[in-house]
Structure formats: structure tokens, C-alpha cells
Amino acid sequence: MVLAAPGRPLEAREVADPEPGPGQVLLDVAACAVCRTDLHILDGVLPERRSPLVPGHQVVGTVAASGGGIDGLSAGDIVGVPWLGWTCGTCAYCTSGRENLCPEARFTGYDLDGGYAERMVADARFCLPVPTGFGAVDAAPLLCAGLIGCRALRFTGDARRLGLFGFGNAARLVTQVALHEGREPYAFTRPGDVETQRLALARGCVWAGDSTQAPPEPLDAAIVFAAVGDLVPLALAAVAPGGSVVCAEIHMSDIPSFRYELLWRERVLRSVANLTRADGVELLALAAEIPLLTDVEVFPLGRMDEAVQAARAGGAATPVLVPL
């Protein structure tokens, strides 16, 4: 499924199989989840990086062939391909464990053709091992919503009372990790969204309410998963002195001006950018240990438009494409 230019519908095209170069593998795609960031790319909210483009960055596939110069991967291995698809490996960020900030980084389904296809190539260095016991469809949402969500969770330190602003795919996965670690998740939804609040309570949150409501007690930290800058001051107001607010989105609307009092008393406001391979290895191992449960709705690749609409609707299940 090809994006000829932002704002245009995806087009089904028959193209030749891509050829893996040195250090790359050819994958038979088994599943690719649809993410909000995909919608930002389709709509042109994120700056155009290349056209035409095959989107999709939560990919699970089987290694079919390699271009040589690869250790640790063989034909038949099942791997996941996340958003971070390539880095230079030599800059100050790459050599200090912060490859997610590499200025030359290339991203799957944005700079590089992604998983809305039957086959794709990927840098072998950025192919993550999928734990035994996870099917491709269930593993796909872990590769962005899970990975970046859990990176955001790590930046909350040992916070016990944890606010989650926006209870979508990432928040549902982070809730499971938080409960596993003995934390208390509090869910904040769009005002009046009683259905999502009920879902949050059913998934183990200790409280759920409107984003405009104050929690029953001050939070130790909060993660903003919705791409809504107006939520940042609300999150800061809900966090106790010394607490932190982490913005987990790649794109967010502008944060409005707010009183310094909301930030004062050593509250911290920070963002999360992308992910590292270490994040991926850690999360996928933890996913098998818990085990993490994903809510998915499966669409064949030919019903791409329906999958995109399901992602826009923001329901309780992640749309996952399979190349039937």
C-alpha cells in the first residue's frame, strides 16, 4: 500500500520484491499494526520525508533472505521492526546509548519503506527478536505503542501513583507493566468518555475520570499519551511537588502558556523521542514474562482504508494488517 503524497489515499500497487543490501534482511511480513503516527504521516502532519512511501512501523515478519554481512539472524527467524530503522552508529548520541537522538536516524515507514506490504527490507541491526509464544498479530502493537510507552514509563522513575492522560493502545499496555511493578495507574480520558473510563477500571486502574478532573490524591508522575498540548498544564497540576510529566508523542499540538506555579517546586516536564534497541529488547522480554496482552482487530491488507478509519476512531483495539 503506497502513499504517493501526504493527504492522498493509499494505493494498492504490485511492485518487484525489494532486494536486501549488505547488512539488510528481506522479510516476509506477517503483521503490521497501524499507529497514530502513521495517521500523522498519511495526513502530512509530520513533514514529508520521501514520496512515494510504503508506511507502517510496527512490523513482525520472517527472515526470507539476507544481503550478507549479518550475524545472529538466519532464514526463518521471526523478528519485529520498530520505528527506529537505522542510525549512523558513530555520533555522540549513538556511542553513548542514546541512538534514539541520532541526527542522521532513519525511521521505518517514514524515511524507509515499511510494513504495509507483503515483503520489506530492514537493517538487521534493528530487527528485534519476537518472544516465543507471541503470535505476529499480538506482537505487532508492542513495537511502537509498547516500546515508546514503556520508555516513557522509565522516565517516571519509581513513581507509585501514575497518571495516564489518554487511555489508548500505549496506555493500556503501560497499565499492565505498571501493575506488574506494583504501581497504581490513574486514567484520564476525554470529558464524558464513560466507556473508556470503565475500560480503564476493568484493566486495573485504581481511578478513572475526565482529563479536567483532579485525581483523588496528587500523583507522583504522569504520562501524556494524547497528542494534545492542552493536557500538559492539567498533568502538571495533578502531579505533586518533585513529580514528573512525560510527553510520549512524536507530534503534539502546541502547549499553551501556563503559570510558573505549576512547574515550580521541582516538578519536571520532559519529552520522549523514539526508542533504542535496548528499549526493545527489555520490553519484549518483559512482555513474555508478564505476559502482556494486546487488543487487536485484524484487517487484510486490501482493507487498508477500513484499518485506517479504525485507527482514527481510536477504539479499544489496535488495527493490525495481515497480507492475505
String of DSSP letters for 235-277: HHHHEEEEEEEEE--SS-PPPPP--GGGTTTT-EEEE--S--H
**31 or 134, which is more confident:** 31
| Domain match, 257 and 281 both | no
Whether residue 15 is contained in a domain is answered as no
Is pLDDT at 324 greater than 80 in this prediction?
Answer: no
What's the farthest any 2 CA atoms get from each other in the chain? Answer: 59
CATH number at residue 238: 3.40.50.720
Whether residue 7 is contained in a domain is answered as no
- Across residues 229-244, what is the average pLDDT? 98
Number of domains within the chain:
2
Is pLDDT at 16 greater than 80 in this prediction?
Answer: yes
Is pLDDT at 13 greater than 80 in this prediction?
Answer: yes
CA distance 94 to 105: 10
Sorting pLDDT into bands at 50, 70 and 90, what band is 131?
confident
Is pLDDT at 119 greater than 90 in this prediction?
Answer: yes
Structural domain boundaries enclosing 236: 156-271
| Domain match, 122 and 267 both | no
CA distance 15 to 27: 15
Q: What is the pLDDT of residues 266-319, one digit of tens each?
A: 999 999 999 999 999 999 999 999 999 999 999 999 999 999 999 998 888 999
pTM of the predicted protein model: 0.93
Q: Are 302 and 278 in contact (CB under 8 A)?
A: no
Whether residue 17 is contained in a domain is answered as no
Q: What is the pLDDT of residues 23-64, one digit of tens each?
A: 999 999 999 999 989 999 999 999 999 999 999 999 999 999
Cα–Cα distances in angstroms (integers) from residue 166 to residues 224, 235, 286, in the given order: 7, 11, 23
**266 or 72, which is more confident:** 266
Q: What is the pLDDT of residues 191-232, one digit of tens each?
A: 999 999 999 999 999 999 999 999 999 999 999 999 999 999
| Domain match, 209 and 224 both | yes
| Domain match, 134 and 280 both | yes
- Across residues 236-254, what is the average pLDDT? 95
Identify the pLDDT of residue 251.
Answer: 87
Identify the pLDDT of residue 212.
Answer: 94
Whether residue 265 is contained in a domain is answered as yes
Identify the pLDDT of residue 250.
Answer: 85
| Domain match, 140 and 280 both | yes
Instruction: Please give the angle made by the CA atoms of 121, 125 and 130, to the nearest 5 degrees.
Output: 80
Sorting pLDDT into bands at 50, 70 and 90, what band is 323?
very high
Q: Which helix (H) or strand (E) holds 39?
A: helix 36-43
| Domain match, 183 and 42 both | no
